[in-house]
A and B are shown apart, each in its own frame.
Chain A
Amino acid sequence: MVSRKEARVVTLAASLPAEDQGDVGRVVSGGKASGAVQEGDSALLARVAREDERAFRSLVDQHMSRTLTLARRILRDADEADDIAQETFLRLWRKAAGIDVGPAGVAPWLRQVATNLCLDRLRQRGRLEVTDDLPEVPDAPRQLAALEARDLKSRVDEALMRLPERQRVALTLFQYEGMSMAEVGAMMGISDEAVESLLARARRSLKVALASEWNELKRDGA
């Protein structure tokens, strides 16, 4: 029997686009991939190495949405995110022959390249250091009042965008990309403990910003 909370979670997931529903399942399952993914990506990559544009288009269609979403979450800028996604896939096109595909297919390679490009972009602008000094907890009552009229997705998105840079990067990689704390730390050049701290601060801020939604779900489950 499905509990009220489970039903609510299912409803939340069902309200998302198909690709996002896939993301929900992927994170819950810990990002494990089937052998079919690897096999498919390997074959496509081999064709891309021979400059087969149809094979490349197939990989782009499979992975563009996720790469673009990752870049938008980190950079908070649709145009910059688009640049990063384009560059990531152009590198895939140029370097296809030298890419080793693991059990999860080409997705981890794309994620790593896109993340590094995003972090480079943030460092170039000095945003990574500067914005980390912002207050940890936003002005919750004012923020909630401004957000009341909007739907859940917009509110979550806006709350994520208001997080300080490093917190948002850590949360994006851990929560949405399914990376381990060690992987996030290696990517950001910080210790596991620092990642843990960033994640805890990010989640505390979001709990304040999204208190009404969270409380609603908690009530459903009570």
Chain B
Amino acid sequence: MSDSELQDFRRFLESHGADRARWPAAERLRFATLLSSSAEAHRALADEEAFDAVLQSAPGVSPGDAARAADRLMARLPNAAATNVVTLPRAKPMARPHARSRSGYLEAGLLAASLMIGVLAGTGGYVDTSGLALLASNEVAEADHGAIALGFDETAATEEDLL
């Protein structure tokens, strides 16, 4: 055994730790001879095992904290499920055309029915059309078209009058 080999072993332990099951196969083989013949190598390994044990005493999350986190997660779950439904690609093409075609038929039917009623009412004399005749005689045309269109009120004071 050489000093450099022992140094290599110490350096290897510094990064890999003492758990031989986790060492790469090549290093397990390489250091097996050293460990069988060197008390110093054995001591270095034992020290590293002790340090691994110290590290393993690091605390984890308490069962209470984990349970509370699980409860919060489950409370959020219905929202997550709703999001899933919205993002499913099959939802859009399935629903819309069907609904649109139904409402389209209904609107067309109502329009046709109202047209028929209008025609029947007009031709059967159920509607007073004298107002229409008045419009046709242009009596309304005597009024000032511009004033009607612009909404002028001749009785109201203008801004110029006030000044």
Whether a CB of chain B sits under 8 angstroms from the CB of A132 is no
CB distance from A54 to the nearest CB of B (A): 10
CB distance from B11 to the nearest CB of A (A): 7
Contacts of A23 in B (CB 8 A): 56, 60
Pick from A68, A153, A197, A214: contact of B51, CB under 8 Å: A214
Q: Which of B16-24, B105-113, B123-131, B137-145 contacts A (4 or more CB under 8 A)?
A: B16-24
Pick from B46, B56, B66: contact of A27, CB under 8 Å: B56
CB distance from B3 to the nearest CB of A (A): 19
Whether a CB of chain A sits under 8 angstroms from the CB of B155 is no
Compute how far the CA of A18 lies from the CA of B15 in the bound complex, rounded to whole angstroms: 28
Task: With CB as the reference atom, state the residue of chain A lying closest to B17.
Answer: A175
Compute how far the CA of A42 lies from the CA of B22 in the bound complex, rounded to whole angstroms: 27
Compute how far the CA of A92 lies from the CA of B28 in the bound complex, rounded to whole angstroms: 38
Task: With CB as the reference atom, state the residue of chain A lying closest to B53.
Answer: A9
Question: Are B59 and A16 in contact, with the CB atoms below 8 A?
Answer: yes
Contacts of B59 in A (CB 8 A): 16-17, 20, 153-154, 156-157
Whether a CB of chain A sits under 8 angstroms from the CB of B80 is yes
Question: Are A66 and B60 in contact, with the CB atoms below 8 A?
Answer: yes
**Which residues 103-122 of A sit at the B interface, judged by CB distance below 8 A?**
none
Whether a CB of chain A sits under 8 angstroms from the CB of B50 is yes
The SS class assigned to the A binding surface is helix
Whether a CB of chain A sits under 8 angstroms from the CB of B100 is no
Whether a CB of chain A sits under 8 angstroms from the CB of B65 is yes
Question: Are A19 and B63 in contact, with the CB atoms below 8 A?
Answer: yes
Compute how far the CA of A60 lies from the CA of B68 in the bound complex, rounded to whole angstroms: 11
Q: Which of A123-131, A140-148, A202-210 contacts B (4 or more CB under 8 A)?
A: A202-210
Number of interface residues of A (CB under 8 A): 63
CB distance from B26 to the nearest CB of A (A): 13
CB distance from B118 to the nearest CB of A (A): 54
**Which residues 64-90 of B sit at the A interface, judged by CB distance below 8 A?**
65-67, 69-70, 72-74, 76-77, 80-81, 83-84
Given A68-B61, A160-B58, A5 and B46 contact (CB-CB distance below 8 Å): yes
Question: Are B55 and A156 in contact, with the CB atoms below 8 A?
Answer: yes
Indicate the size class of the contact surface on chain B: 35 or more
Compute how far the CA of A200 lies from the CA of B8 in the bound complex, rounded to whole angstroms: 13
**Which residues 158-186 of A sit at the B interface, judged by CB distance below 8 A?**
160, 175-176, 178, 180
CB distance from B55 to the nearest CB of A (A): 6
Contacts of B19 in A (CB 8 A): 27-28, 30
Question: Are B66 and A65 in contact, with the CB atoms below 8 A?
Answer: yes
Given A12-B53, A17-B62, A53-B77, A61 and B70 contact (CB-CB distance below 8 Å): yes
Task: With CB as the reference atom, state the residue of chain B lying closest to A206.
Answer: B55
Whether a CB of chain A sits under 8 angstroms from the CB of B114 is no
Whether a CB of chain B sits under 8 angstroms from the CB of A75 is no
Question: Are A196 and B15 in contact, with the CB atoms below 8 A?
Answer: yes
Contacts of B81 in A (CB 8 A): 51, 93
Compute how far the CA of A30 lies from the CA of B66 in the bound complex, rounded to whole angstroms: 24
Question: Are A203 and B14 in contact, with the CB atoms below 8 A?
Answer: yes
Whether a CB of chain B sits under 8 angstroms from the CB of A69 is yes
CB distance from A37 to the nearest CB of B (A): 19
Compute how far the CA of A74 lies from the CA of B87 in the bound complex, rounded to whole angstroms: 32
Compute how far the CA of A146 lies from the CA of B115 in the bound complex, rounded to whole angstroms: 93
CB distance from A175 to the nearest CB of B (A): 6
A-B contact pairs, 5 of them (CB 8 A): A60-B70, A94-B80, A94-B84, A175-B17, A199-B15
Q: A64-B70, A156-B59, A175-B52 are in contact. List 10 more A-B contacts (CB 8 A).
A: A56-B77, A60-B73, A61-B70, A65-B63, A65-B66, A154-B59, A197-B15, A214-B50, A217-B54, A221-B50
